[in-house]
Homo-oligomer: A and B are copies of this chain.
């Protein structure tokens, strides 16, 4: 029987989407300005739509191809249901829909922010953050709505809406993994493709416009200008949105998988007010309440004074953020107390079954909420304007580009020290509190305020665009000053947002990794087996090569752009005098095509390697799927560890270089002399920033997708590796199902059911154990015996 609790997340999601719709209507009602402003804004909007259209076309092919592959898998592997294809398609669709809504509102909000900035700073903030809120709630609302709805459907389809066994629930969750895989696949296109797009347009516009033609940035005579502005939205809005959408869904899914195994460890079923699936519902419910608290948080983001500075704007964002985090903390406490059994049993590898009180699960969520905040602060320390590491890079610029680059690289590298130590402590801590279920719930708690995080994050590129429009439309200086304040805050939130994104990706991957191990039923991943160790090495290499490919892609795509801009300068008469009209659309098209073309190779690398490892393992160890599963696990661990390191390194180095360069705008003291833009030191800093651009906007953020997608593919492949088939209780036709029961005293019994099944083509006798009160065990054994499906094979 369903508990009403199962529908609570859906209700929250719908509230979130309703609020989003109201906010959206409000934003669209704002004055969109006139004349040149509107014209430029329309170009950006159309460019963004053009990218989305091209992306959707490619996506359609991809989704069809992947669906066929998944369908084939579902035919080969008896425990994988064809419904996984439906889940996959919907996951992809929901993620694309969220991205679409986000991009549209962001490109509509920018010009309205510019217009609002003509009135006052508080109004500009309200509009810009309103746009961000629409984006955030859209992503979070659709994610929770989609995931929860699908779960309920599958729960009814496979289990009739009533708890039967961990094995049946595993089939539900394995099918649900398709939804997550779909969402993350879109993220691959949006984040990697978007990252290439934004930098290709940026670099291409600069190389010909600024360097060759000598016209300033954001000049409407440059045909690549619009593509550049579209890029901000494609990369920073749609890319980040898809990234967090994917993390959000994957985290909740992994926590549900591990919740299912908590129930298993407790003897196969529990009695609670939620139909016996409290530990599975909990992560969804936390996500639901997180949407509610994010709404409250967004409502607190406002300033009163028109003379407010960066610190007040940042303060307003912080208040909203901390309130939503604080409320989530309280909700975690209440929900954990309410929804979980007071004491649970959890299996700790090598330490056996332990009694875990529900309070310990709450502590794990505290760890998750704390980590999100701390990592953001650490990121800010290494990349913020005026911080010690950034000022050190500024100083090193005086001796040339070489020393500036070395200093930036070293800063990014050293920033891994505190970040990784915090991760390690978080993994260890949340695991010590409540096993891998604790790790997954730490991630869930952290992701609960995704809507708020995204609102803060999307507000940055919106303000950036607003400033660009102000500049291009030659509005009064005070307008630009106001948007600059918002933009400057946006730069900080962009850096901390990247910290949040990588922290979430890391914890999500670990939770998926844990779900993978439990799905395959292996005894852990022993890197003292040489094939596993070899795969750990290979996994470690992938993020490095992926990053290099992404960086090279930016270079190649930028060259396409350069050639197109050169062509237009030559062929369109009067273009440089401002009388001829540049073909903005052509540049958008070039950038779009190049981005989607160039993301192919990294994409194939990401998807192909796990599959290649499974094939290799199956070929070499045809009689030992468990070893193949361990090899794939070693690969996943290698990708995750190395990917997290390279993400931190690249994001922070890039962020630090960027702000080191920006420091020259206000002037910096080097060796006792004030140094400004245009100095030799500034030129050195510009070189550093050029290196940092693909680091922080393309290859660095792509790592998030790489590690999550790798672990998700592992999870989807898991059933092929057989371990799971052992658990479902498929007995052979004609084989007796034998039950051995031992009543220990009046109230406790233990039973073992043995049956023959097929594992990797061989007949194997399997056992299933039940423990509990005598009556319970008897009932379970009966249910099991009745439920055993008889295979057609002889």
Contact = CB atoms under 8 A, between A and B. Distances in A.
Interface of A: 207, 348-351, 396, 399-403, 405-407, 409-411, 413-414, 416-417, 420-421, 423-425, 427-428, 431-432, 435-436, 439, 510, 514, 517, 523-531, 533-538, 540-541, 544-545, 547-549, 551-552, 555, 624, 626-627, 633-634, 637-638, 641-642, 644-645, 649, 686-691, 694
A350 B627 contact: yes
A649 B409 CA distance: 13
A691 B207 contact: no
A540 B413 CA distance: 12
Given A427-B537, A638-B641, A350 B402 contact: no
Nearest to A438: B530
B400 A642 contact: no
The 9 closest A-B pairs by CB, nearest first: A402-B690, A431-B530, A413-B548, A524-B528, A524-B526, A420-B541, A424-B534, A410-B548, A428-B534
Copy total for this chain = 2
Which among A410, A530, A548, A627 has the greatest number of chain B C-beta atoms within 10 A?
A530
Nearest to A540: B641
B439 A530 contact: yes
A530 B690 contact: no
Given A413-B545, A416-B544, A425-B534, 10 more contacts: A348-B529, A401-B405, A403-B555, A409-B691, A414-B549, A416-B541, A427-B533, A432-B531, A523-B526, A544-B645
A423 B407 CA distance: 31
Contacts of A536: 637, 641
Contacts of A207: 399
A541 B641 CA distance: 9
29 contacts: A349-B526, A350-B526, A350-B529, A402-B689, A402-B690, A405-B687, A406-B690, A406-B691, A410-B548, A410-B552, A414-B548, A417-B541, A420-B538, A423-B537, A424-B534, A424-B537, A427-B530, A428-B534, A431-B530, A439-B530, A514-B528, A527-B634, A528-B633, A536-B637, A537-B641, A537-B644, A540-B642, A638-B641, A642-B642
B424 A547 contact: no
A549 B425 CA distance: 23
Given A413-B545, A551-B409, A424 B528 contact: no
Nearest to A545: B417
B687 A687 contact: yes
Contacts of A637: 527, 533, 536
A95 to B, nearest CB: 28
A752 B687 CA distance: 71
Given A406-B691, A551-B406, A649 B544 contact: yes
Contacts of A349: 526, 528-529
A528 to B, nearest CB: 4
Given A414-B548, A416-B545, A641 B642 contact: yes
B531 A410 contact: no
Contacts of A634: 527
Contacts of A645: 540-541, 544, 642
Contact of A528 (B525, B537, B538, B626): B525
A359 to B, nearest CB: 19
Contacts of A641: 536-537, 540, 638, 641-642
Contact of A427 (B425, B534, B541, B547): B534
A424 to B, nearest CB: 4
B529 A524 contact: yes
A641 B642 CA distance: 9
A405 B399 CA distance: 17
Contacts of A423: 534, 537
B525 A510 contact: no
A223 B350 CA distance: 63
A730 B287 CA distance: 56
Contacts of A535: 424
A530 B399 contact: no
A535 B694 CA distance: 30
A428 B510 contact: no
Contact of A400 (B431, B525, B687): B687
A517 B533 CA distance: 13
Contacts of A435: 530
Which among A349, A427, A537, A688 has the greatest number of chain B C-beta atoms within 10 A?
A537
Contacts of A689: 402
A661 to B, nearest CB: 11
Contact of A407 (B417, B531, B555, B688): B555
Given A510-B533, A525-B526, A551 B687 contact: no
A700 to B, nearest CB: 13
Nearest to A414: B548
A123 B352 CA distance: 72
